[in-house]
Structure 1
Amino acid sequence: MAQDSSSPGGSLGVKAVDKVQAMIQKSLQLPKVKFLRQRMAEAGCTVKDNFFRAVVCQGRKGMAYFAPGHGIFVCSNHVTFQDEVNQLIIHELIHAYDDCRAVNLRWNNCAHQACSEIRAGHLSGDCHFMRELLRGHFKLRGHEPTGSKNARHRELISKRDNLNSNGYIAPSRPNYVYCWFSFDLDEPKECIRRRVLLSLFSNPNCVGSAAKDSMEDVWDICYNDTQPFDKAP
């Protein structure tokens, strides 16, 4: 359940909650959010605006959570930007949609939770490359030719005008060190797997290898289940 939004933090906590609640209201105007709410209503689960609440979260590491029968809660003490709130609302709405449409979904069942986490990660855009970049999930590769006679240096300089957006080379100057950096981001599926496991680790029924085993067991069917979208957005 959600914690009392007025504690801890006194008036500062209340201000943070009010600020994030205003951000939530902006999120509700997003086309994807409107679409998900419409599909939930068609499935018999009308979602009113008070379904979405900003709260101060005590003892929670996550930034938001869906509580069946209660709603979606965004942790005002863990979020800062509008884009974060947008993404959290979409992610948790997919959980809410799964809870609405499922006949026997049990959130304490490791495989059931894994399936919904896979779908939420895939359909919400959690693993868009810019979000991964901001999370720091990339590898930085550097190449450092050191002299004008260096063959690799000459090759890079000759290509500087055609270099793609993956890197940058400083303008040609004799006797300088030239660096070319590029970023290797995790593949989207690997990003989803990583984030699914982080969520499953909080489930006491997913101890040991159960989290990974459950995720792999349901991966194909749940990753390819794009409802209520015709295909992954």
Structure 2
Amino acid sequence: MGGTADEEARERTEGYVDRTLRRDPKTKFILQKMEEIGCSVDASKFVTVEHCDDSIAGGFRPQSGVVVCQNHVQTQEEVDNLLAHELIHAYDHCRGKNLDWNDCQHHTCSEIRAASLSGDCHWLFEALRGNFGLKKQHQACVKRRAKLSIAMNPACGDADQQQKAVDDCFEKCFADTAPFDRIP
């Protein structure tokens, strides 16, 4: 007989993570660029799969690495985008030696970059979310997803303060496509 649903979710998610780390060009590229700027990581230890209580698919913990929430991801594509998103945060943490995740401006900038560069705002995922705008849809998605992410940071205050942080950071942070030459 099979294991519990939680054990099956863990095994499925670990398979997705392993496949992403071995095959996904974007993830491999970000890890390579992290190594080039002095932040080499052992991805098999840097990325962990956990059961998460919060309604999040994953996250970046500066002291320990990337978490993928086995109970909130369902597909390989979700894991591909999630790892790219969280690795952008890891890249930002590496290159910004004074990056302070409790500083709303720092956190907002990294969220804008991660939403833009990871694939989170690909037109297909936006269509699945019911967002069909054509004019500047990518930018609208990036702003929306960055605001959702910083809403969990107490340093970012209320909804008005969060919107202001996104508005203040957007132009500069959206233009920063490192480690890529352009938005992939």
Give the TM-score, by structure 2 length: 0.92
Q: How far apart are residue 185 of structure 1 and its match?
A: 5.2
Matched residue, 2:124: 130
Q: How far apart are residue 213 of structure 1 and its match?
A: 1.1
1:70-219 aligned within 5 A:
70-138=64-132, 184=133, 187-208=137-158, 209-219=160-170
| Residue identity matched to 2:155 | N
Unaligned runs of 5+ in 2: none
Matched residue, 2:6: 13
Q: How far apart are residue 136 of structure 1 and its match?
A: 2.0
Matched residue, 2:48: 53
CA distance in 2, matches of 1:92, 1:135: 20
| Residue identity matched to 1:133 | A
CA distance in 1, matches of 2:96, 2:30: 15
CA distance in 1, matches of 2:73, 2:134: 24
1:21-60 aligned within 5 A:
21-28=14-21, 29-48=23-42, 49-58=44-53, 60=54
| Residue identity matched to 1:15 | E
Give the TM-score, by structure 1 length: 0.73
CA contact (8 A) 2:13 2:70 kept: yes
Quick one: which of 166, 169, 173 aligns to 1:222? 173
CA contact (8 A) 1:118 1:223 kept: yes
Q: How far apart are residue 107 of structure 1 and its match?
A: 0.6
**Could you list the per-position Cα deviations for residues 80-103 of structure 1 after superposition, in whole angstroms to 9, with x for gaps in the alignment?**
111111110001000000001102
**Could you list the per-position Cα deviations for residues 106-154 of structure 1 after superposition, in whole angstroms to 9, with x for gaps in the alignment?**
111111110000101111121111001112223xxxxxxxxxxxxxxxx
CA distance in 2, matches of 1:215, 1:111: 8
Higher relative helix content:
2
How many percent identity over aligned positions? 43
| Residue identity matched to 1:120 | A
CA distance in 1, matches of 2:74, 2:129: 14
CA distance in 2, matches of 1:185, 1:194: 15
CA distance in 2, matches of 1:40, 1:72: 14
Unaligned runs of 5+ in 1: 1-9, 139-183
Q: How far apart are residue 23 of structure 1 and its match?
A: 0.6
CA contact (8 A) 2:143 2:170 kept: no
SS at match of 2:143: helix
| Residue identity matched to 2:47 | F
Structure 1 runs (4+) deviating above 2 angstroms are: none
Aligned length: 178
**Could you list the per-position Cα deviations for residues 37-91 of structure 1 after superposition, in whole angstroms to 9, with x for gaps in the alignment?**
0110111111212211111001x11111011121111111011111111110001
Considering only aligned residues, what root-mean-square deviation do their CA atoms show, in Å?
Answer: 1.4
**Could you list the per-position Cα deviations for residues 145-198 of structure 1 after superposition, in whole angstroms to 9, with x for gaps in the alignment?**
xxxxxxxxxxxxxxxxxxxxxxxxxxxxxxxxxxxxxxx457111111111110
